[in-house]
């Protein structure tokens, strides 16, 4: 193989002209299938990679060998099965896993609590995310200030009298600058967010010169009502 193909599927005995090309192919496959890997060993003779998730069986090994008058990298071992993530995706899976691996019977309520705790460890809790919004808004504005002819981003954050979240508005400088090249028609819509507090995402978009959807602004609100729509549109 001499170039990267996004539709390429790895198999044992595949040959690559260089080590760099082999790495690019693996990176393309990892990006396409949405997973990460780590390098276990890498030198002039061999490269061993494995999935970044602990206990996942996905791994591969490639070796450098002489083929005629040149050296090639050959995939000598490849386990393509991902054994993490989906197998514990439901409460039923978690209950069965605990029974099979540890001989214990747990309730669906306990399985739900365990899954929520694991997700909090990975993603942080919704409360932590809301606490980070003011900092996020500040950094966003700091890194999107006026530069030459470009307009700065607009970020607004509003809380109630008890400092509880109400609204968060964001329109990036790229969207503001791109508006002049779009059709003078704005569409607004709202959709529910699947989180603990059932917030709503409001959005404004427009068709660009290629008749594709061009995002203009986003707003997260506590409830979709006249007050939140008025605040968003103003």
Over the stretch 64-82, which tens digit does the pLDDT of each residue have?
988 777 889 999 999 988 7
3-state helix, strand, coil in the chain (%, to 5): 35, 30, 35
Handedness of CA 69, 71, 77, 82 (dihedral sign): negative
Give the separation between CA 96 and CA 149, rounded to whole angstroms. Answer: 60
What is the tens place of the pLDDT at every residue in 118-138?
777 777 777 888 888 888 888
CA separation for the pair 232, 51 (Å, rounded) = 43
Q: Residue 168's CB: how many other CB atoms inside 10 A?
A: 22
1-33 CB burial, b ≥16 within 10 A, e <16: beebeeeeeeeeebebeebeebbebbeebbeee
Q: What is the predicted pLDDT for the residue at 151?
A: 67
Q: Is the pLDDT of residue 157 over 60?
A: yes
For the chain, how many helices (H) and strands (E)? 7, 10
Diameter of the chain by CA atoms? 77
Angle at which helix 108-123 crosses helix 91-102, to 10 degrees, equals 100
Strand order, beta sheet including 165-171: 154-159, 165-171, 213-221, 200-207, 187-192
Q: Which residue has the higher pLDDT, 134 or 97?
A: 134
Convert the pLDDT of each residue in 173-223 to its tens digit.
888 888 988 999 999 999 988 777 888 999 999 999 888 999 999 999 988
Domain ranges of the chain: 15-79, 86-123, 129-233
Per the prediction, the chain carries an average pLDDT of 84
Residue 88, pLDDT score: 55
b/e per residue 205-220 (b: at least 16 CB within 10 A): bbeeeeeeebebbbbb
Tell me the pLDDT band of 148, cut-offs 50, 70 and 90. Answer: very low
The residue written with tokens 């005629």 in the block is 68
């Amino acid at each position: 193989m001499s170039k990267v193909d996004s539709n390429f599927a790895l198999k044992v005995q595949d040959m690559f002209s260089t080590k760099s090309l082999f790495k690019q192919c693996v990176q393309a496959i990892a990006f396409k299938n949405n997973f990460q890997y780590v390098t276990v060993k890498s030198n002039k003779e061999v490269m061993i990679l494995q999935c970044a998730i602990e206990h996942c069986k996905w791994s591969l090994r490639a070796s450098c060998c002489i083929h005629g008058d040149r050296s090639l990298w050959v995939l000598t071992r490849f386990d393509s099965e991902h054994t993490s993530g989906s197998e514990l995706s439901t409460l039923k899976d978690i209950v069965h896993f605990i029974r099979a691996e540890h001989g214990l019977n747990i309730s669906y309520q306990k399985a739900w609590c365990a899954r929520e705790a694991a997700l909090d460890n990975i993603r942080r809790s919704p409360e932590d995310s809301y606490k980070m919004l003011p900092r996020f808004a500040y950094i966003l504005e700091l890194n999107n200030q006026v530069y030459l002819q470009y307009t700065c981003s607009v970020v607004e954050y509003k809380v109630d009298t008890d400092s509880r979240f109400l609204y968060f508005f964001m329109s990036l400088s790229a969207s503001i600058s791109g508006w002049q090249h779009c059709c003078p028609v704005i569409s607004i819509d709202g959709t529910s967010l699947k989180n603990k507090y059932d917030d709503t995402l409001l959005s404004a978009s427009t068709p660009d010169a290629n008749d594709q959807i061009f995002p203009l602004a986003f707003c997260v609100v506590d409830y979709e009502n006249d007050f939140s729509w008025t605040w968003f549109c103003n």
